[in-house]
Structure 1
Amino acid sequence: MAICGKISVEFAIQIPASKFFHILAKEFHNIQNICERVHGANLHEGDDWHSTDSVKNWTCLVDGKVITCKEKIEAIDEEKKLIKYSLFDGDIGQNYKLFKCNVQVTETNNESASVKWTIEYEKITEDVKTPYGYLEFLEKGTVEVGDHLQKA
């Protein structure tokens, strides 16, 4: 059984890439008000939700279980519509030495986009499950954000 790995999911949303990317890059604090599985989030360190030196606390529902973790943005590439996150501490830190999420949003036409989430991880032990539940959480959250943006 592998201790390190990379998993991903890619799918289409019916929202322009720039509109979806904007909420992740500039209005990330609103995710907790949009996504049912996000139970709470707050700024732990730093002055801005969207800078690379800020740390956020998250409480979410993953695989039917409430989990906590901290998250930090490692990089934002506006041109490529790519954001790299690092997750640590809490339930993540108990199970993974390394847990990074990347999201890339690609324009397919003026009305839709492709969203690709990638999780790179290193388990603390072989007994820890591969984080498919986290990938499902990200996919469902993306759909919820897309639905919210369609109504806005």
Structure 2
Amino acid sequence: MAISGKISVEIVIQVPASKFFHILAKEFHNIQNICERVHGANLHEGDDWHCTDSVKNWTCLVDGKVITFKERIEAIDEEKKLIKYSIFDGDIGQNYKLFKDNVQVTETNNESASVKWTIEYEKINEDVKSPYGYLEFLEKSTIEVGDHLHKA
């Protein structure tokens, strides 16, 4: 059984790429008001939700369990519509030495976008499950945000 790995999911949403990317890059604090699986989020360190110096606390429903973790943006590439996150502490930190997720939003046409999430992880031992539940959380949250933006 592998200790480390990389998994990904790609979702097509009926929202322009720039509109979806904007909520991740500029209005991330609103995700908790849009996604039912996000039970809470707050700024732990820093003054701005959208800079690489800030750390956020999250409480989310993953695999039917409420989990907590901290998240920091490692990099934002506006041109490529790419954000790299580092996830640590809380329930994630108890099971993974390394947990990073990246999201890239690509325009498919003026009305829709492809959103690709990639998780890179290293488990603390072989008994820890690969984070497919977290990947499903990202997929369902993406669909919820896409539906919310489509209606707006």
Q: Same fold (TM over 0.5)?
A: yes
Alpha-carbon distance, 1:131 to partner:
0.2
Alpha-carbon distance, 1:11 to partner:
1.9
List alignment gaps of at least 5 residues for structure 2.
none
Q: Distance in 1 between matches of 2:115 and 2:12?
A: 6
Alpha-carbon distance, 1:151 to partner:
1.1
Q: Distance in 1 between matches of 2:108 and 2:123?
A: 35
Alpha-carbon distance, 1:6 to partner:
0.1
Q: Distance in 2 between matches of 1:147 and 1:106?
A: 17
Give the CA RMSD over aligned residues: 0.3
List alignment gaps of at least 5 residues for structure 1.
none
Corresponding residue of 1:103: 103
1:94-141 deviation per Cα after TM superposition (whole angstroms, max 9, x unaligned):
000000000000001000010100000000000000000000000000
Please give the secondary structure, in 2, of the residue aligned with 1:24.
helix
TM-score in terms of structure 2 length:
1.00
The ranges of structure 1 where at least 4 consecutive aligned residues each deviate by more than 4 angstroms after the TM superposition are none
Q: Distance in 2 between matches of 1:151 and 1:112?
A: 13
Aligned residues: 152
Q: Distance in 2 between matches of 1:81 and 1:30?
A: 19
Q: Distance in 2 between matches of 1:11 and 1:117?
A: 9
Q: Distance in 2 between matches of 1:150 and 1:109?
A: 14
1:71-91 deviation per Cα after TM superposition (whole angstroms, max 9, x unaligned):
000000000000000000000
Q: Distance in 2 between matches of 1:60 and 1:124?
A: 21
- The percentage of counterpart residues that share the same residue type is 91
